[in-house]
Structure 1
Amino acid sequence: MMQRRNMILGGFAVLGLGGWALSNNMGGGSGSTELSNLAGAANAQTTSGDFDTSSITEMVVGNPDAAVTVVEYASFTCPHCAAFHSGAFKQLKADFIDTGKIKFVYREVYFDRPGLWASMIARCGGQERFFGIVDLIYKGQSNWARAGEPAAIVDELRKIARLAGMDNDTIEACLQDAEKAQTLVAWFEENKNRDDVTSTPSFLINGNKHSNMAYGEMKELIDAELGS
């Protein structure tokens, strides 16, 4: 766990990113990469207890009082997650989210540093802009995630942030927030350990874990929970 965290966060030095940006390990590129495969040289000695993860906002859409809660665990560098958001999520939104039948929660998984940087950009716009920025990140995944060097990846993510209406000062402040980055990684580790998240996308439907599935199967599971 310590090695994985240090690999994602890295040393605190370069690229104007609060210092967590030297290598470009695209571990989440397969879409279902096992979290246990991540490894790296340890440098910063931190534990999840060092950070107040209650400060991390849960990104929620739909009816907060719904009887059914669907939680998605996803990585921004996961192609299967991008495919889910370009297809099945739109159906889920039309059938269950916009109709107020479910509460939908999106939780980020950090396979790699680019996934963390994308999360920092997505959260930079706050709760109101989050899901719109998520759409832009997934739509552009094949471009920014394969941009090459870390600086090039971050430049592409900056473009997405500007497209979402953020100014340069706001973008840089978010990218340089090293404490927020470390807190997000600690939050992810707590979620992963509690809910036994091993691949992406993964879903909790009223607390029951499911791996990636066709929308028809997901709809049947949700309907069953709704009693319809």
Structure 2
Amino acid sequence: MRTKHLLSAIAIAALTVGCSQADSKPVAANDVKGSSVSYVAGDVILGNADAKVQIVEYASTACGHCRTFHKTILPNIKKDFIENGSVSLIYRDLPTPPAQLAAAGAALARCAGKDEYYKVLDDVFTSQGEIFDAARSAGGALPAYNEIGARHGMSEETVKACVTSTEVLNEISRTSDLAQAAGVTSTPTLFIDGVKVEAKDMSNEGIAALLNDALGIETTSESAPAEPEEAAEAAH
């Protein structure tokens, strides 16, 4: 069965936003048993749940810019801010075209459970090129998701049940609702303590500066070089 047929329900559900009363407050994550598969419902927090500063990220596993963020910027946020307990992050799904692939990646992370959630997300972003290549082939993208699932202890039957689960789709729709309510129009979009990060600040340096400011940490710039006359006087 080709992926476009297998995941058609996901694409429709993921694109139907604004149907519920969206609440941007975090919803505690719980591993639950659905009718066909176990999955994590709610917001999964990366880092210290009681961190002083919280980042909320709206992103899509099919978005190239999101992949860049997750592979080149997020590792530095983890190292400098999340691992020391001062900052936490919540990832929320906002599927973008091709929505069936984006939703499938999001679903796979949820079916992996809380402990594997961010590991699977990282794997999906890392494998984005392979997923797209598989989607263009006769066999479709499902085998690529099976490979990712296998690396995290998920059987092919579990992966198939996951990407077609109505309950998992509802979680993806929930976060899509939140994105719409927050006025998100592109991915990735970050909020630091509820304040949207502007495009000009979406860099390692820009985000670090915003996080330091939110934490009340003053950063010192390097001293300006001495003027020629001052340098000459200092030499005597």
Q: TM-score, normalised by structure 1?
A: 0.75
1:117 lines up with 2:120 in the alignment: no
Structure 2 distance, partners of 1:23, 1:132, is: 22
1:98 lines up with 2:86 in the alignment: no
Q: For the Cα contact (< 8 Å) 1:199–1:211, is it kept in 2?
A: no
Q: Of the two, which has the highest radius of gyration?
A: 2
Deviation (angstroms), 1:103: 1.5
Q: For the Cα contact (< 8 Å) 2:58–2:91, is it kept in 1?
A: yes
Residues 164 and 15 of structure 1: is their aligned pair in 2 closer, same or farther, counting only changes over 3 Å?
A: same
User: Which structure 1 residue ranges, 4+ long, deviate > 6 Å from structure 2?
Assistant: none
Identity of aligned residues (%): 26
Q: For the Cα contact (< 8 Å) 2:10–2:163, is it kept in 1?
A: no
> What per-residue deviation string (whole Å, max 9, x for no partner) do you get for residues 127-174 of structure 1?
100111111111110110232159511221111111222123322321
Q: For the Cα contact (< 8 Å) 1:22–1:150, is it kept in 2?
A: no
Residue matched to 1:221: 210
> What per-residue deviation string (whole Å, max 9, x for no partner) do you get for residues 193-218 of structure 1?
22111101110000001245111100
Deviation (angstroms), 1:122: 1.2
Q: How does 1:56-135 map to 2 (within 5 A)?
A: 56-111=41-96, 112-135=99-122
Residues 98 and 227 of structure 1: is their aligned pair in 2 closer, same or farther, counting only changes over 3 Å?
A: same
AA in 2 matched with 1:161: G
Structure 2 distance, partners of 1:131, 1:105, is: 10
Residues 154 and 21 of structure 1: is their aligned pair in 2 closer, same or farther, counting only changes over 3 Å?
A: farther
1:176 lines up with 2:164 in the alignment: yes
SS in structure 1 at match of 2:211:
helix
RMSD between aligned residues: 3.0
Residues 17 and 59 of structure 1: is their aligned pair in 2 closer, same or farther, counting only changes over 3 Å?
A: farther
Q: For the Cα contact (< 8 Å) 1:59–1:106, is it kept in 2?
A: yes
> What per-residue deviation string (whole Å, max 9, x for no partner) do you get for residues 40-87 of structure 1?
xxxxx997349xxx6832121111111210111111011111111111
Q: How does 1:13-92 map to 2 (within 5 A)?
A: 20-21=7-8, 48-49=19-20, 56-92=41-77
Deviation (angstroms), 1:23: 11
Deviation (angstroms), 1:123: 1.1
How many residues get paired?
A: 193
Structure 1 distance, partners of 2:56, 2:123, is: 20
Residues 185 and 22 of structure 1: is their aligned pair in 2 closer, same or farther, counting only changes over 3 Å?
A: closer
Structure 1 distance, partners of 2:3, 2:68, is: 31
Q: Which runs of 5+ in 2 are unaligned?
A: 22-26, 31-40, 218-236
Structure 1 distance, partners of 2:156, 2:141, is: 16
AA in 2 matched with 1:196: G
Q: Which runs of 5+ in 1 are unaligned?
A: 1-13, 25-37, 39-44
Deviation (angstroms), 1:17: 9.2
Given the alignment, which residue of 141, 146, 168 partners 2:128? 141
SS in structure 1 at match of 2:184:
coil
Structure 2 distance, partners of 1:49, 1:105, is: 20
